Every structure is written in C-alpha cells, then in structure tokens.
Amino acid sequence: MDQGTLVENQIDDGARVVNKLRETGFDVIAAWWMKTSEEGQWFLYIASHEVDRKGIAAAYRAIHTVMGSLGRLWVDRFEVKLVNPQNPITKDVLDILARYPAASATRYGGKRLGNVSIDDSYLYPTVVAA
C-alpha cells in the first residue's frame, strides 16, 4: 500500500482498534494518525497511562491482543506507536481536540505536533465513533 496516502479504511480500522481498547479497559487518552516529515510514513499513535503503569512491552502486548481479536485490519501492528500522556505531541493533540472538538477523525493541517515536524495528521475525537 502507498504510504503517502492514509486511506479511509485505515482511519476506520484505527477507530475500531481504539474503541476495542477502551472496551477492554485499556486507558486511551488520545489517538491519532501522523505522518512525520522525517519518516514519511503513517503511524497510528496511541497515548495512554498504560505505558507508565504496565511498561511499554506489556502495553504493546495488550494492543496486539486486541488487534488480533478484530480480524483482518488495515492497520498493521508495526504501524502503532505508544506514547505516554506527558509526551509533547500528546499535549498538542489534546489541546487541539479541546479547542476544535469533532465527532469523527479530523485532519489537522498544522506543520508541527509537539517538537516534531509533520506532513499530515488525523486526530480521533476523545471518544471515537466507529
């Protein structure tokens, strides 16, 4: 698949993953797709206290278990990046969501999130609609 374009199936399946994580009790503070200028590839970022509570490896295992339970997805497990709520990118995402609430994933056209230069991003609302 062309990594230059984020397709609707990826956005929809990202929402499915986030919703299922929340249903299982996984603490999702924020979730967004982001393509950094440096990497040039789309990644699904998930901000969670679970990173600090359980450790990064256990948090990734929980996400992979949930993804496996959803069947075939347009999101690969290697496209998911976990960050904690104190991450500067997370703080910017939460600020944007507070200022511009939306009902579904919304494109953010800014050039930076946190201390990272970005090409593009899609932010999920705090509560994700599938």
Q: Strands 42-47, 80-83: parallel, antiparallel or unpaired by DSSP? A: parallel
Q: Give per-residue pLDDT as tens, 22-45.
A: 999 999 999 999 999 999 999 999
How many domains, in total, are found in the chain? 1
Q: Give per-residue pLDDT as tens, 100-109.
A: 888 888 999 8
Task: Quote the pLDDT of residue 128.
Answer: 53
Q: Residue 3: which pLDDT band, with cuts at 50, 70 and 90?
A: low
The burial of 91, by beta-carbon neighbours within 10 Å (0-12 exposed, 13-18 middle, 19 or more buried), is given as middle
DSSP state of 98: H
Task: Quote the pLDDT of residue 129.
Answer: 47
Quote the CA–CA distance of 43 and 26 in Å, as a whole number: 19
Within a domain: residue 96? yes
Within a domain: residue 128? no
Within a domain: residue 129? no
By residue range, what is the domain housing residue 23?
Answer: 8-123
